[in-house]
Amino acid sequence: MDRYDPPDTPLSVLHHDHEILVVDKPAGLLSVPGKLPGLEDCLMARVRGAFPEALLVHRLDRDTSGVIIFAVTPRAQRHLSRQFEQRRTEKSYIAHVAGRLEGAGTVDLPIATDMENRPRQKVCHERGRAAQTGWEAIGAEDGATRIALTPVTGRSHQLRVHMLALGHPILGDALYAPETTADHPRLMLHAERLRLRHPDGGRFVTFTAPCPF
């Protein structure tokens, strides 16, 4: 990991009730503490500073911004975690990728850890885990394309690896497209929408965070 300099921004709460807490994570902030010294500041720590009862459910990559949900009770944590594990949540992302991309499609390529280049992941047909990502081009901007991404699975770095495999890496990605970071100081990937069943009663609820780019 490069030098960790998390943004000093106030906690952005999108929703809070007796079972769940939803926040808009800024880019550049770890979801949970890192293993090395100096990586203690993270979204989980900031959330618990304001909501000590908050419990982890899922994560976003450090450099990805957007919607992330926490449980407020152990029962809600079990309920939400089960939805993520069973792929019953709906997640939508916005990204800017290099080059011109038109139409829509699905990337279905297995992903595994690149053991010689951790924390990188890679497409690996021999030992990779199944991974699927839907994509749709929604705009063109100066040699780049704005796309909507809908992951079916939730592998580590899935969206970043799949876009790279298409030949259209996400701009600002220091790990997979470092040549683009001079013009894009942040990873151009944002978790815009999350839809799932509320732990209390099971009704569908949808949370959104405006894309900052």
164 closest CA partner among 185, 142, 179, 183? 179
Q: For the chain, what is the mean pLDDT?
A: 97
24-36: b or e for each residue (b if 16 or more CB lie within 10 Å)?
bbbbbbbbeeeee
DSSP label at residue 119: T
Active site residue 61: yes
Cα separation, 144 vs 69, in Å, equals: 30
Give the percent of the chain with pLDDT over 90.
Answer: 98
Q: Give pLDDT tens digits for 105-116.
A: 999 999 999 999
- 2, 17, 24, 61: the active-site residue: 61
pLDDT at 14: 98
Confidence band for 1, pLDDT divided at 50, 70 and 90 = low
What pTM did the predictor assign? 0.95
Confidence band for 2, pLDDT divided at 50, 70 and 90 = confident
Average pLDDT of span 115-127 = 96
Q: Give pLDDT tens digits for 43-67.
A: 999 999 999 999 999 999 999 999 9
DSSP label at residue 179: G
Cα separation, 9 vs 14, in Å, equals: 15
User: What is the CATH topology of the domain spanning 13-208?
Assistant: Pseudouridine synthase (3.30.2350)
pLDDT at 141: 85
Per-residue pLDDT at 173 exceeds 90:
yes
Average pLDDT of span 20-44 = 96
Average pLDDT of span 112-141 = 96
pLDDT at 3: 87
- Per the CB < 8 A criterion, the answer to whether 172 and 186 are in contact is yes
- Per the CB < 8 A criterion, the answer to whether 123 and 167 are in contact is no
* Cβ neighbours of residue 3 closer than 8 Å, sequence gap 6 or more: none
Confidence band for 122, pLDDT divided at 50, 70 and 90 = very high
